Structure 1
Amino acid sequence: MHPHPRPDFIPGLDLSRILYEEAVRPILDSAYPGLRYAAARVGSGSEVLGFDSARSADHEWGPRLNLFLAPDEAAEHGAELRRLLAVRLPKHVRGWPTHFRRHDPEVPIGLMELTEGEVDHRVSVDDVGNWLRTELGVAAAEPSVRDWLAMPQQRLAEVTGGAVFHDGLDTHGLGGTLGAARARLAWYPDQVWRYLLACQWQRISQEEAFVGRCAEAGDDLGSAVVAGRLVRDLMRLCLLLERTYAPYSKWLGSAFARLAVAEELTPSLAGALAATEYPVRERHLGDAYEFVATLQNGTGLADPVDPARRPYHDRPFQVLHAERFAQALAATVTDPELRGLLLTGGVDQWADSTDFLGLTGPRRAAVDALALNVNVNVNVTRSP
């Protein structure tokens, strides 16, 4: 990729800050004095979540920046500003090229490359409202309940993560500031949070008995697969409890490892995954269930529920009966729109296709379709 040895790795957010402070800001000060803008590194990219490493430099990583202007100024100056940066940006920052080339026309992944001519840079120019519509399907206004349910946690993490290096936009006619939008989206409203927690417990309740049933049927592979699904759901539940958006699968374990509960809970989760015999798998899962159930009770969000494992009705499988926690949380949901919904949850609690979750319109259409199924009880009775 480079004609010379690759420079020492710099965390991507640090590299973006250097690009802004040493290259982009001087150009803006000279060519557009007084321009109101925000400069940040947000959106897609492992560096935005703090998970980048030297390996990340092989695609769409490097000196990248997001510039946000007022809507009218973005429309008026966006194209010329991008062109100006192509001409005046330095060829590299700390040894990392600012020019990105297309490695393969069939796979549009940007790779850094030194160039003698204009740079094909990765400094975007947009307005906050338009960017939010593209990323999340919402503008700067307060999201509705359905908006929240249609936004994948990965996207919310990308919008609220990263770093803002300068926010010079004011709120008078500019569609809101970047900082205000990020603060508004930093975490779910209380009622949405309670609903999503109930839905996550409901997911666990639907499969917790299958680990034993598969093993009883002689399907140890199936038992292990279901256990893996339950471990994933418990990890995502812990992220919800600690008010942390869950990233997609590549970074789920990395995000979980940062949680306060990770050190104590990980041995049980890892034990369930590593177990080659059902009794060991069941024991580790039971330990994990009881640990997370105790965490849930400690939040005070709902009436406490006995966190002890127990038989699955008259079958010899030890489970939590997680629907009890779903019921307790659902009883605290007072928002009329949420109370009428099935316990299916947000879009990434019932869909995990990366391609689908990247499509704003279909996501929202699916959430709207589910919302039509109101006042139906499925495996859980809500308190009046």
Structure 2
Amino acid sequence: MSFLPGLELSRRFHHAVVAPTIAARFPRLRYAAARMDTGSELFGFDTERSRDHDWGPRVQVFLDSADAGLADQVCAAVTEDLPASFLGFPTRFAPDADRSLGVPALDGARHGVTVTDVAAWCQRVLGFDPADGPGRLDWLATPTQRLAEFTAGDVFHDALPDVVARSAGVVGGLTGRRAVLAWYPPDIWRYVLAAAWARVAGEEPFVGRCGEVGDEIGGAVVTARIVRDLMRLALLVGRCYPPYHKWLGSAFARLPDDDGLCATLAAALSATGWSVRQRRLCQAYELLAVRTNQLALAAPVEPTVRPFRDRPFLVLDAARFARALWSAIGDRGLRAVPVLGAVDQVVDHTALLTDVARTRMVVGCALGLDHDGTQPNER
């Protein structure tokens, strides 16, 4: 039997099990149903290996705030009608201390259907409700993994009422909320790209310096750090939210690669000797410089490498791209923010990046933004 992707399994599960129960028990209920919580299946990265935990027939049912009081009743109805298995897969999970849902088990105490208020769920997962119109702090404090999850997966049904948002206009239910976060607004995009190039600028001469003092391991580590930053930069240029480390390479491999960037970065990682690493990285810098210029988000910058001061190292001088992008930002408040970037350009500790309350505190502190995304001098 060929592998059935988890997203397709969940879609069929909703149509065959969850939707009929809701239609029969709550015929007038306006709700949305989706699979857009955590999991490799949201991106189509799941395999047979994924089935050992947190994988199976799973659906999130979202209610309007006016109907939030029905959540327990809807969940109880689904639980009552739930078959032991669906298409040969258990619908229940046994709790596991290291798993968010658990491991598949026919006699498990949990199942994969959750019922919740859509606005409350957004607040819990993102730290804000997109229907309210995200501000600077909302965009910059939300890890790209969360943004990728929220806009990936699939919506199986959406009959939630429209919401009239403060700044986003009329937002249609769950689908409308996803559309709001489909991609960064132009100035936020310029800002995160500027920060991405600034990260490269901070380390691009180090490969040569490590090599000059005979530090082969250090040079390899610096190269790997730069390659990771360039992969994330390529995804940002390609309008893709970079996922966390486990799926970064898989997402990067899906990007158009007519210029050979993927092979160039792979060659940089496998190279021995600092001069070879430098040559491959310089090729990658120039390719991404061209891609950045093609976005026309800022004045074009000469995309060629050059000597680093009077030392025998070649660099792109990536700070030139950071400055050009920053200069093109029209939002004066955003231009006043330090060019440190979004939260996952500042920190990469998984425990922090999975806690939206902490990401908002970190970004608010690092960038000088208050809870509403403004700086003190803007009030």
Same fold (TM over 0.5): yes
TM-score with structure 2 length normalisation? 0.92
Deviations 1:74-106 (A, max 9, x none): 2x2111222222221111111001011124x46
Q: Structure 1 358/257 Cα, relative in aligned 2: closer, same or farther at 3 Å? A: same
TM-score with structure 1 length normalisation? 0.91
Equivalent residue in structure 2 for 1:294, among 279, 284, 290: 290
Partner of 2:104: 112
Equivalent residue in structure 2 for 1:327, among 317, 323, 329: 323
**In 2, Cα distance between equivalents of 1:180 and 1:217:** 55
User: Post-superposition shift, 1:246?
Assistant: 0.3
* Percent pairwise identity: 47
What SS does the corresponding residue of 1:100 show, helix, strand or coil?
strand
Letter of the structure 1 residue corresponding to residue 120 of structure 2: N
Listed as ranges, the gaps of 5+ residues in structure 1 are 1-6, 375-384
Partner of 1:129: 119
What SS does the corresponding residue of 2:240 show, helix, strand or coil?
coil
In the alignment, does 2:273 pair up with 1:277?
A: yes
Q: Structure 1 166/54 Cα, relative in aligned 2: closer, same or farther at 3 Å? A: same
In the alignment, does 2:86 pair up with 1:93?
A: yes
**In 2, Cα distance between equivalents of 1:368 and 1:27:** 44
User: Post-superposition shift, 1:120?
Assistant: 2.3
Counting matched residue pairs gives: 364
CA contact (8 A) 2:237 2:292 kept: yes
Deviations 1:341-369 (A, max 9, x none): 11101000111011001111221111111
Deviations 1:113-142 (A, max 9, x none): 123xx8621111112211111111002310
- The aligned runs of 1:141-152 (5 Å cut-off) are 141-152=132-143
- The aligned runs of 1:1-384 (5 Å cut-off) are 8-74=2-68, 76-103=69-96, 105=97, 109-115=101-107, 120-139=110-129, 140-171=131-162, 177-261=173-257, 264-372=260-368
User: Post-superposition shift, 1:8?
Assistant: 4.9
User: Post-superposition shift, 1:151?
Assistant: 0.4
User: Post-superposition shift, 1:173?
Assistant: 8.1
**In 1, Cα distance between equivalents of 2:289 and 2:164:** 47
User: Post-superposition shift, 1:109?
Assistant: 4.9
CA contact (8 A) 2:163 2:173 kept: no
Letter of the structure 2 residue corresponding to residue 29 of structure 1: A
Report the RMSD for the aligned CA atoms in angstroms: 1.9
CA contact (8 A) 2:282 2:315 kept: yes
What SS does the corresponding residue of 2:4 show, helix, strand or coil?
coil
Q: Structure 1 32/228 Cα, relative in aligned 2: closer, same or farther at 3 Å? A: same
Is the deviation greater in 260-269 or in 29-38? 260-269
User: Post-superposition shift, 1:371?
Assistant: 2.6
Partner of 2:376: none
Deviations 1:143-189 (A, max 9, x none): 11111110000000111110001101121689951011000011011
CA contact (8 A) 1:305 1:325 kept: yes
User: Post-superposition shift, 1:9?
Assistant: 2.6
User: Post-superposition shift, 1:26?
Assistant: 1.0
**In 2, Cα distance between equivalents of 1:106 and 1:194:** 38
Query: Runs (4+) of structure 1 moved beyond 3 Å?
Result: 105-109, 172-176
**In 2, Cα distance between equivalents of 1:300 and 1:158:** 28
